Amino acid sequence: MEIKAPRGTHDVLPQESYKWHKVEEAVKGLCHDFGYQEIRTPVFEHTELFERGVGETTDVVQKEMYTFMDKGGRSITLRPEGTSPVVRSLVEHSLYAQALPAKLYYVTPCFRYEKPQAGRLRAFHQFGVEVFGAEDAALDAEVISLALELFRRLGVTGVELEINSIGCPTCRKAYNEKLKEFFKPHLGELCETCRQRYEKNPLRILDCKQQSCKDIYNSAPILLDNICPDCESHFNRLRSCLDAMGIPYTIDGTIVRGLDYYTKTVFEIVSKNIGAQGTVCGGGRYNGLVAELSGPEMPAVGFGLGIERLLLMLDNLNIDLGGQDVPDIYIGHIGEKADMFVQNLVLKLRREGVAVERDYMNRSVKAQMKYANKIGARYTVVLGDNEIEAGKAGLKNMETGDVTEVNLDALGNFFSSLEE
Ligand SMILES: [Zn+2]
Ligand SMILES: [Zn+2]
CA-CA-CA-CA dihedral for 292, 297, 302, 307, to nearest 10 = -40
CA of residue 263 to ligand 1 center, whole Å: 8
From residue 325, give the alpha-carbon distance in Å to each of 15, 287, 289, 318: 9, 44, 43, 19
pLDDT over threshold 70, residue 102: yes
* pLDDT tens digits, 105-160: 999 999 999 988 877 899 999 999 999 999 999 999 999 999 999 999 999 999 99
CA of residue 227 to ligand 1 center, whole Å: 5
φ, ψ of residue 78 to 5 degrees: the values are: -70, 135
3-state per-residue secondary structure call for 92-142:
HCCHHHCCCCEEEEEEEEEECCCCCECCECCEEEEEEEEEECCCCHHHHHH
Reported as type and span, the H/E element at residue 161 is: strand 159-165
8 A C-beta contact, residue 87 and residue 289: yes
Alpha carbon distance 130, 100 (integer Å): 12
The pLDDT, as a whole number, for residue 368 is 97
265 DSSP β-pair partners: 165
Q: Which of helix, strand or coil describes residue 411?
A: helix
CA of residue 194 to ligand 2 center, whole Å: 4
Q: Which ligand is nearest to the CA of 193?
A: 2
With a pLDDT cut of 90, the percent of the chain lying above it is: 79
Report for 119-123, 149-153, 254-258, 278-282: range of highest mean pLDDT: 149-153
Which of 329, 322, 377 lies closest to 352, judged by CA? 329
Pairing of strands 159-165, 250-251: parallel
Average pLDDT over residues 172-189: 91
The pLDDT, as a whole number, for residue 259 is 65
CA of residue 120 to ligand 2 center, whole Å: 21
87: which residues sit within 8 A by CB, 6+ positions away? 53, 130, 289, 290, 293, 295, 300
Q: Which ligand is nearest to the CA of 228?
A: 1
Q: Which ligand is nearest to the CA of 189?
A: 2
CA of residue 168 to ligand 1 center, whole Å: 4
What is the pTM assigned to this prediction? 0.88
Which of 232, 281, 222, 278 lies closest to 253, judged by CA? 222
Average pLDDT over residues 52-78: 93
CA of residue 187 to ligand 2 center, whole Å: 10
Q: Which ligand is nearest to the CA of 169?
A: 1
CA-CA-CA-CA dihedral for 279, 285, 287, 291, to nearest 10 = 40
CA of residue 176 to ligand 2 center, whole Å: 16
The pLDDT, as a whole number, for residue 276 is 61
* pLDDT tens digits, 209-232: 889 999 999 899 988 999 999 999
Average pLDDT over residues 315-328: 89
Average of per-residue pLDDT values in the chain: 93
The pLDDT, as a whole number, for residue 258 is 63
| Per-residue exposure over 336-359, b if at least 16 CB sit within 10 Å of its own CB, e if not | eebeebbeebbeebeeeebebbbb
CA of residue 288 to ligand 1 center, whole Å: 13
Q: Which long-range contacts (CB under 8 A, 24 or more apart) does 158-161 make?
A: 158/271, 158/272, 158/273, 158/317, 159/269, 159/270, 159/271, 159/280, 160/248, 160/249, 160/250, 160/269, 160/270, 160/271, 161/242, 161/247, 161/248, 161/249, 161/250, 161/267, 161/268, 161/269
The pLDDT, as a whole number, for residue 137 is 98
Identify residues whose C-beta is under 5 A from ligand 1, the ion.
Answer: 167-168, 170-171, 228, 231
Helices (H) and strands (E) in the chain, counts: 15, 16
CA of residue 137 to ligand 1 center, whole Å: 14
| Per-residue exposure over 247-286, b if at least 16 CB sit within 10 Å of its own CB, e if not | eebeebbebbbbbbbbbbbbbbbbbebbeeeebbbbbbbb
The pLDDT, as a whole number, for residue 243 is 98
Identify residues whose C-beta is under 5 A from ligand 2, the ion.
Answer: 191, 194, 208, 210, 213
Domains annotated for the chain, with CATH where assigned, are 14-168+227-316 (3.30.930.10), 329-414 (3.40.50.800)
Q: Which of helix, strand or coil describes residue 76?
A: strand
CA of residue 213 to ligand 2 center, whole Å: 5
